[in-house]
Structure 1
């Protein structure tokens, strides 16, 4: 199982407090910088207590804070502190899902579809290319030379684990994937989504240089539809 990174866990912990979560939602909905007084009023607490909770949200990147004066108004003393949504976002799924990867592949398939090419063919072509690029990046990062079957399966497992496939080495030359990171999309159109998954993993093995390992369609209930099989 893939564990969320530390920053995500910290953000989730901060949002577990009801007051913080409500203030965060209020600031996101506002569409403008929000003062401490406004944030405090939105949840019915004191300004001092609101400042404590807002600082927690800033610390994990969910909010940003600065000092701003109202446009066109003169103000004596320091401008009030205002808060805006930060760049951080929180998405936690256990087991991990990769709907963003699937969406990117489908979007590129629409953008890059060639004359006379079906939508399905374009999606499979893009998925294969994206997988190949991922495999080449993994190969470069790990500085891999020629790969035997066992080493290839081990290296493939590292990437698959990061993407939430939950690989399991059930035999010396077989890796089964316990989780489908594209679920529940796969349940809606298994032929298309499993085909994209298979194409992506096939391309990945090519880019990795895993010449003795194949991605094989082998659907199993509650698991990924692809497994990796190597030749001894």
Structure 2
């Protein structure tokens, strides 16, 4: 037991995050909603989904919000057909990607950029920013307050599998305790970490926040990378 504890201590004291397993696993109810939507030829309303799943509409709505935020479900208004606001319609998207395939492809691309680009970090940052724009747009991003923009970006990172932890005294400081591409990040930190920072900056822009002061310190402390997502409190 003493030796086991010693090994545990040596692992957790290593700088940087622990390996990630991709996006956060879905709850059983959220997975059931996805399964129902996969079998539908047409989008469903919230009320119809609640009847099929056998859950309260408020519970189904909460799960749908998560699925929409993660890009797994699309939400659109039904055509007007009388008094009142048209209902939301929900349908499946094609955004589900195998984590292992994604990780392998990302590692190969990082290696290729490192070998062929005269400015690997700069090129990776640009690619990450474009990706961040796309991810935020898929979540229906719109300009908001700087604090709300930061919240949305932290939620995005959580859905991507980074398990972010915000400091209570300084919400602008975020610890990334997992990394979905940890092996590739160790091999090519200039590329992989630049992509991750680019994602943050691109998403912040979509939410109307200034991304310039965002910074990522890879492997900066035991068990985490440190990310700064402005604004900082006065």
Shorter chain as denominator, the TM-score bin is 0.3 to 0.5
TM-score (norm 1): 0.47
TM-score (norm 2): 0.47
Higher RCO (C-alpha under 8 Å, 6+ residues apart): 2
